[in-house]
Structure 1
Amino acid sequence: MNYLPFLLAIIFLIVLLNIIANKLKIAYPILLVLVGLAISFIPNLPVVKVDPDWIFFIFLPPLLFEASWNASLKEMKKWWRMIGSFAFLVVLFSAFLVAIASNYIIPGFTIALGFVLGGIVSPPDAVSTAAITKFVKIPKSTSAILEGESLLNDASSLIILRFALVAVGTGQFIISHAISEFLWMIIGGVAVGLIIAFLFIQFHKRFSADTSSAIILTVIEPYIMYFIAEKMECSGVLAVVAGGLYMSKMKMTFMNSSTRLKSISFWEAFSFLLNGIVFFIIGLELPEIVTGIHSKGISITTAIWYGIIVTIILIVSRIISSFAGLLATIIFRPSIAKQLNLSINNYKGPLVLGWTGMRGVVSLAAALSIPLYLENGKMFPQRDLILFITFVVILLTLVIQGLTLPFIIRKIKPFKNLDEDIEDSRTKIKLGLKTHIYEQLKIKYENEDCNLKENIAMQRILKYWEDQSKAQETKWIDEDIKDVLIEIFELQRIYLSELNKDPEIDEDLIRQQIHQIDLEEERIKYIK
């Protein structure tokens, strides 16, 4: 109970920082990591310790599940070559360079420890990238590549980390065993995730009738996928990603509209809170990490320089990989290159893609998960230094790349005619939907022998959708009218709140009416 006020204050601060970040139009992870750093210098703060074995299990499954739930599987299939190369080849390339460089520049750092560090810092963070790019417009293809990469690169980097930890603990690395374990981790992880997701979908269809139960089930599902996969010694990350993508594809068939609507808000808030807590955990542990570095005879200045060098390696390796991907597409996939208007002189797209390598929660969780002791009882070598370098990498990539990415996109304008493409697609979808609804209603209620076809209300509905399907102008409401309607909605809520004071009025009816008004307001906000 002594920690409760402190934890509540941290949660309040996370929310406050998000509000400030939205006002300033910067990504909230940037403020979180900066404030987390500042908080670490406040004296006499409670010492917050989390068992390294629990870090992944608490934070990673729900964050991966939420990202998988919102990802577009169709877009991922379309760009699978680019996603696969960034998620596996680029991660391996970055981890390799970090391992070689750290072995060379850091005294006492073996190649195995280098791969531990490389596996931790190699995957860019989806949450950080999404939070930063929401203030600028990027094409669907780029966002799909970033989303798909962030889902799969966590698995590849954590596989590298697992093998590196084994090499540090045992002092040996057997390639034949590593290959077989690697294949089992991938195939087994995907299979476990798909099987469990299928079973949960069947359970949802048959037993999960109310919204609250269905949402609670979605919370425990990623934990079960991750736990079973890890117990079978395959990739829990891939199990959660595969299961989440499958359930996302099927959610229209086993969830009702209310569950889908409410689960969106719940998962946004839940994942946001988890991200914030992880950043603050590393901030609160920073003083102890610094003490550990000093005990090993390493100065803070030297450790910061190590972090800067590793950050430069990561940024340069990703930019090189982006241009290598451009060149490979032009040479081996000329049809795709022509479709995307790619050329050897088109440096803007690869530059932006290479500059989106912000690190975040996964790297933090991976660093914190390093065991305190080896199996032989000895302390894990260089653990504090690895944690400190990880924090420096996250801080620098978030602040430097995160703050400059929107400026770079606006300055060099790498994406052409983005607004026109979006507006054309939106118009096509809206007009097609109106025509489809009118035709289906007409077929059902005019051609069938039913009582409704003579109903006056039904005739009005048919007339409305007939007019909508013939309308070529889809922009029927402007921003001024939106403001008027939103003001009316607020007046309605005030009236209902006052009416609710009447003891004769059923409060459930008031709540239902306010919910309908909220839904209508959300619909109005999204009309373009």
Structure 2
Amino acid sequence: MLEANLLIILSLLFVTSMLALLSQRLKISYPILLVLAGLLISFIPKAPVIKMDPDIIFIIFLPPLLYASAWNTSWGDFWRLRRPIGLLSFGLVILTATAVAFFSHWLIPDFSLALGFLLGGIISPPDAVAAASVFQSLKVPKQVVSILEGESLVNDASSLIVFRFALAAIFTGQFVFSEAVGSFFTVVIFGVLIGLAIAHIVYAIHRFLPTTPSIDTALTLISPYLMYLTAEHFHCSGVLAVVSGGLFLSFRSSDIFSYNSRLQANTVWNVLAYLLNGIVFILIGLQLPDIIQGIGEYSLKDCIFFAVAISLLTIVIRILWVFMAAYLPILRSKTIGRPDWKSVFIVGWSGMRGVVSLASALAVPLTLVDGSAFPQRSLVLFITFVVILVTLILQGLSLPVILRFMKLEVEEEGPEQEQEITHRLAEAVIAHLDTHCQQEVMENPVFRRTRERFERIAEAAGNGLMSADATPALMKTHQEMLLEIIAVRRAELKHMHRRQEFTVELIRAKERELDMEEASIRES
């Protein structure tokens, strides 16, 4: 049994990697391709049936994925855009849940309002991973990406809170609005406080104890689970605990990590986030046959109609809400600038659902307190799956086309900005050497050559800034020349390795330097 499960996991990892390569070749967002692949695999005769345990999603997958998103989010951008992020993360989630509740109650026979709020809480949060994967190969304004990333950090928490309140109302048969509001703020505030408290403890360990890069990396892997599980133990928002703790540690990362700790941790986290996202999206597609088998009260045709109608409702509500939130403040204040309608539409259209929605649907209990079957659980699962599928395929595949059609203007960070940073850093080094190492520079050739090196760097960057009109072509030629030089050095290093002129450790260290240098050039 263990061998069979291990083989399935390894097969999923392999298929995920191969499909990710195919998505790059086809220029399709990899979550979309993975969901479709999982859907096709599930219909293969005698294909293994893989059932997703919601506890696995919430406990194993969710904390590290949230932590990785928080770590890569700029706190400055998050705070600067707190108004649109808050309106999307809380306002839109509550509006979507409410609209879905009343619409589904009206549309579906014998579908109670409490079940409607349960469904609304499940499908209200978009999954920014899918949108981010689409934007990777497209030119999108940085503000749009920052808003979507910030929204994804918080909307999971608000939707899960709505989900829990609706579930409690179904079990108890009553709903007290004042108690729900009080519990909502309690869950949110204490979730944030728990996350920050644990983050401060982790910060102190990194800062004041003699850690190594391996220990630092291990602590970054353990931290999100500590934050999430502690908050959930006290019935607070584990999502907000991870988000708040991750934002704090990310903001202070330059104070607590050495360069080698950052390099190692970033490498580990890039691989981990890629594998976790890939596995989850392909598992989503594998769930459909099991979900369809559970539908018995309604025909498949009716279920598809209900699901598509609710999917379109969530899309329309998001677009309307985003435009109202962007333009209504202009009517009240003339000092607020008019936003670009193209960027506003892209934010409204980037509402693909994903991992958290399906995990929430699977977390719906099988039975009530009295032992009777949970009402219309299979229908809730089916609608959730179709909403994920419709939003991923319709919006995900159409985003690149819409962006090309709109010809959205994007302010790119040109080479001038990089040259300015390089120039200022080199000038700072020269000023430091002249102030604190003046005698050493005069007497020691090593110090003198160091200063001369940074003088050349500052001069080259300054010349690049003064000839900005020739920068694009010149920079491209210069980049090609630098890559050729690296290739020559790497070839010579291989010859040294074959002739065994130096130790393997030294050869690998130099190879690592060349890798980092090439990465720096290609990303510039």
Match of 2:161 among 159, 162, 168: 159
Partner deviation per Cα, 1:186-241 (whole Å, 9 max, x = no partner):
11000000000010011112336221221121111101100000111110000000
The residue number in structure 2 matching 1:382 is 376
The residue number in structure 2 matching 1:508 is 505
CA drift of 1:490 comes to 4.3
Alignment of 1:235-384 (within 5 A): 235-293=237-295, 296-337=296-337, 341-342=338-339, 347-384=341-378
CA distance in 1 between counterparts of 2:117 and 2:365 reads 15
CA RMSD, 1 decimal: 2.2
Task: Assess if the C-alpha contact under 8 Å between 2:34 and 2:285 holds in 1.
Answer: no
The residue number in structure 1 matching 2:411 is 418
The residue number in structure 1 matching 2:426 is 437
Q: How many residues align?
A: 514
Residues 449 and 500 of structure 1: CA distance in aligned 2, closer, same or farther (over 3 Å): closer
Percent sequence identity over aligned pairs: 41
Partner deviation per Cα, 1:111-161 (whole Å, 9 max, x = no partner):
111111111111111111100112221222221111111111111111111
CA distance in 1 between counterparts of 2:313 and 2:173 reads 26
The residue number in structure 2 matching 1:51 is 53
SS at match of 2:287: helix
CA drift of 1:312 comes to 0.4
Task: Assess if the C-alpha contact under 8 Å between 2:187 and 2:237 holds in 1.
Answer: yes
Higher mean C-alpha deviation, range 375-384 or range 230-239: 375-384
Match of 1:202 among 191, 201, 204: 204
The residue number in structure 1 matching 2:447 is 458
- Write the letter of the residue equivalent to 1:473: G
CA distance in 1 between counterparts of 2:23 and 2:477 reads 27
CA drift of 1:258 comes to 1.4
CA distance in 2 between counterparts of 1:194 and 1:504 reads 52
SS at match of 1:120: helix
CA distance in 1 between counterparts of 2:436 and 2:490 reads 42
Instruction: Tell me if 1:523 matches 2:517.
Output: no
The residue number in structure 2 matching 1:401 is 395
Residues 397 and 466 of structure 1: CA distance in aligned 2, closer, same or farther (over 3 Å): same
CA distance in 2 between counterparts of 1:111 and 1:307 reads 17
Instruction: Tell me if 1:392 matches 2:386.
Output: yes
Task: Assess if the C-alpha contact under 8 Å between 1:56 and 1:369 holds in 2.
Answer: no
Task: Assess if the C-alpha contact under 8 Å between 1:435 and 1:466 holds in 2.
Answer: no
CA distance in 2 between counterparts of 1:349 and 1:334 reads 20
CA drift of 1:10 comes to 1.2
- Write the letter of the residue equivalent to 2:510: Q
Residues 297 and 198 of structure 1: CA distance in aligned 2, closer, same or farther (over 3 Å): same
Higher mean C-alpha deviation, range 198-207 or range 182-191: 198-207
The residue number in structure 2 matching 1:473 is 464
CA distance in 2 between counterparts of 1:280 and 1:443 reads 54
CA drift of 1:375 comes to 3.3
CA distance in 2 between counterparts of 1:276 and 1:335 reads 45
CA drift of 1:473 comes to 1.1
The residue number in structure 1 matching 2:81 is 79
Residues 440 and 501 of structure 1: CA distance in aligned 2, closer, same or farther (over 3 Å): closer
CA distance in 1 between counterparts of 2:372 and 2:498 reads 67
Higher mean C-alpha deviation, range 296-305 or range 189-198: 296-305
CA distance in 1 between counterparts of 2:98 and 2:275 reads 33
Higher mean C-alpha deviation, range 255-264 or range 486-495: 486-495
CA drift of 1:389 comes to 1.3
Instruction: Tell me if 1:129 matches 2:131.
Output: yes
CA distance in 2 between counterparts of 1:373 and 1:446 reads 75
CA drift of 1:269 comes to 1.7
Using structure 2 for the length normalisation, give the TM-score. Answer: 0.92
Residues 116 and 203 of structure 1: CA distance in aligned 2, closer, same or farther (over 3 Å): same
Residues 461 and 256 of structure 1: CA distance in aligned 2, closer, same or farther (over 3 Å): same
Higher mean C-alpha deviation, range 371-380 or range 2-11: 371-380
CA distance in 1 between counterparts of 2:114 and 2:150 reads 28
CA drift of 1:467 comes to 4.1
Which blocks of at least 5 consecutive residues in structure 2 are unaligned? 466-470
CA drift of 1:491 comes to 5.1
Which blocks of at least 5 consecutive residues in structure 1 are unaligned? none
